[in-house]
Structure 1
Amino acid sequence: MENLIRLSAALGIFGIMICWEYLKPKRHTSISRKQRWPINLGLAAFNMLLMRFTVGSLAYLSAITAKQHSWGLLNQFSLSEWLAIFISWLALDFAIYGQHIALHKWPLLWRLHQIHHTDLEFDATTAVRFHPLEIVLSMVYKVICIIILGAHPLAVIAFEIILNGTATFNHSNIGFSEKTDKLLRWLIITPDMHRIHHSTLPAETNSNYGFSISCWDRMCKTYTAKSQHAQSTMPIGLNAFRKPTDLGFMRLLLLPFKPLRRD
C-alpha cells in the first residue's frame, strides 16, 4: 500500500508538471524530448524495478521496526503524534540536504551524482535522472537516519511523497513572475532557484542544495539568489559533458567507473 500511495502521487505530480511545461515553458529547449526523455525515463524505470526487488520499502519498514523496539531519539520521549511527525519530517529533510552537499563534495559520491547533472536541459524528467547506485546508497543513508532519529512511520511516507513531488516541481521547465518567485522562495524551492544549481558555473552548481524547503540553504550559507546568466538562456549541465551523443543510457551507467572529469 505504501508503494502504491507513493507511486500514485509521483505519477500524478509528474503528469501535471509535464503538461504545464508543454503549455507554458520557461525555456525553449535546443535538445528534443525524443533525445532526452528515453534516457531519463529509462533510468527512472530501471531504478524503480531495482528498488522494487531490493530495498524499495526499507525506509518505511525501518521506521516501523524502530517504533516497535523503541529505537532512536524520538522514541525516548512522550511526544504527541503530530509533533513526532513534524520533527521527523523536518529532520529527514535536513538530512537529505546534507546528503546532497556530500554528493557534490566527496569525489567518490560525485562520480554517481554527476549523472544527474549531465542533463543538458532542465525539466521534470531531470528529477528522475539518477544512477542506480546513488538510489541504493541514498536509501541506505535514509534508513540509518530513520533508525537514529526514531522517525515516525507516517512521517517517512509523507517525507517520501513530498520529496518526490517537490523534486519534480523544482526541476520543471516552468517559471513564475519575479515577484511571485521571490515570495515562494521564502518557503519552498522554486524551479528558478533550483535551476541555478544545474548551471554550468561551479559556484552556482555548488549552491542551492535544498529539495523541499528553502531555509536550509539560507541558514547554512549555500544560497545563491540570482544566476549570472538569464534563467531563460543559462547553460545547463556540466562543462565536461556537452555532447548529447556521449550521454546515452549505457554510457551513463558506466560513467562512474571512468576517470573523473572536472573540466
Structure 2
Amino acid sequence: MSDLLLAHEPAVRLGAFASIFALMAFWELMAPRRRQTIGRLRRWPSNLGIVILNTLLIRLVFPTAAVGLALVAASRGWGLFPALDAPPLLAIVAAVVLLDLAIYLQHVLFHAVPVLWRLHRMHHADLEFDVTTGARFHPIEILLSMGIKLGVVAALGAPAASVLMFEVLLNATSMFNHSNVRLPARFDRVLRWLVVTPDMHRVHHSILPGETNSNFGFNLPWWDRLLGTYVAQPQAGHEAMMIGIKQFRDPHELSLDRMLLQPFRDDDGLYPLGRREPPP
C-alpha cells in the first residue's frame, strides 16, 4: 500500500492540477470577475514557468516530499496521532484541518517577518489576479514552505492519505480562490463559510496594506474569522481595487528573470510589515 501511494502520488497531484487549472481557466473566459488590462500572453509564460521550476526543484531537494515522510513517520510511530492512538478516520480529518491551520500561520509569518516578506512579495507583485497567481511563488519560499510542512507532518504523525488529500485540496483551492471568476453574491456569502472564495481572497491581493494583511486563508476560511484577520470586501470594490504592491508596478517586472530577483531588490520600507490597518 505504501509503495502504491508513493508511486501514484505525482500522477494524482498532476492530474488534479491539470484538471482544476483547465476548469478555472475556462471559467475565467466565460464569466470573468474583473476586466484585465494586462493579458495572459504577458503574464502566463512567467507564472507557469515558475510552476515548472518549483516542481523540478521540490523533486530534486525533497524526492519523496510530504507523503513519503508521512509513510516513514507511520512506520516508526512518530508524532502526536500515533502517541494518542487516534482512530484512523479521526486522524485523517484532524490532520487535514491542522495542516491547514499551519499553512495559515505560515502565511501570516511570511507577511510579518521582513526577510520572509521579501520572498513572499513576489506572489503579491502580480499585477492581475487569476488562476496562475495561485501558483506564483518564489522557489526559496517554496523550499522553506516544504520544510515547514515536513516538520508539521512529522510532529503530527499525519497519515499519508491525509497528507496527499491535503496537498490536492490546497492546490485545488489555491487555484480556485485566485481565479478571476464571478460567483453570485448570495452564493459567495454562504460558500465563504466553508471555503475561501475568489472574492474573499482577492482582498488579500489589494495594494492597500490593511487589506494585504488580511484574509490569509488558502483553503479553510475559519482561521481569519477566529483570529481577527478577516476583511469582508475591499474598500474600492472588486472591480476598481488595485492589485499588487507599491514596488514592481512596471509590467516588465512580470518577466521570469525579474521575478526571481525581486526578493533581493528595493526597500522593504515601502511596505509596513506586520501592521494591519483596518479599512475606514
| Cα drift, residue 106 of structure 1 | 0.5
Residues 1:242 and 2:239 aligned together: no
| AA of the residue aligned to 2:181 | I
| Alignment check: 8 A CA contact 1:111 1:260 kept | no
| Alignment check: 8 A CA contact 1:196 1:204 kept | yes
| Alignment check: 8 A CA contact 1:167 1:212 kept | yes
Aligned pairs (5 A) from 1:1-263: 1-263=8-270
- Cα distance between partner residues in 1 of 2:63 and 2:181: 30
| AA of the residue aligned to 1:53 | L
- Cα distance between partner residues in 2 of 1:38 and 1:262: 30
| Alignment check: 8 A CA contact 1:71 1:148 kept | yes
| AA of the residue aligned to 2:78 | W
| Alignment check: 8 A CA contact 2:203 2:212 kept | yes
RMSD of aligned C-alpha atoms?
Answer: 1.0
| Cα drift, residue 52 of structure 1 | 2.3
TM-score, normalised relative to structure 2: 0.92
Deviations 1:128-151 (A, max 9, x none): 111011111111000001111111
Unaligned runs of 5+ in 1: none
Deviations 1:205-253 (A, max 9, x none): 0000000111110000100011101102210000122111133211111
Aligned residue-pair number: 263
| Cα drift, residue 49 of structure 1 | 1.4
Unaligned runs of 5+ in 2: 1-7, 271-280
- Cα distance between partner residues in 1 of 2:253 and 2:27: 29
| Alignment check: 8 A CA contact 1:85 1:155 kept | yes
| Alignment check: 8 A CA contact 1:3 1:57 kept | no
| AA of the residue aligned to 2:42 | Q
Runs of 4+ in 1 over 3 A off after TM superposition: 259-262
- Cα distance between partner residues in 1 of 2:55 and 2:105: 24
| Alignment check: 8 A CA contact 2:82 2:157 kept | yes
TM-score, normalised relative to structure 1: 0.97
| Cα drift, residue 54 of structure 1 | 2.1
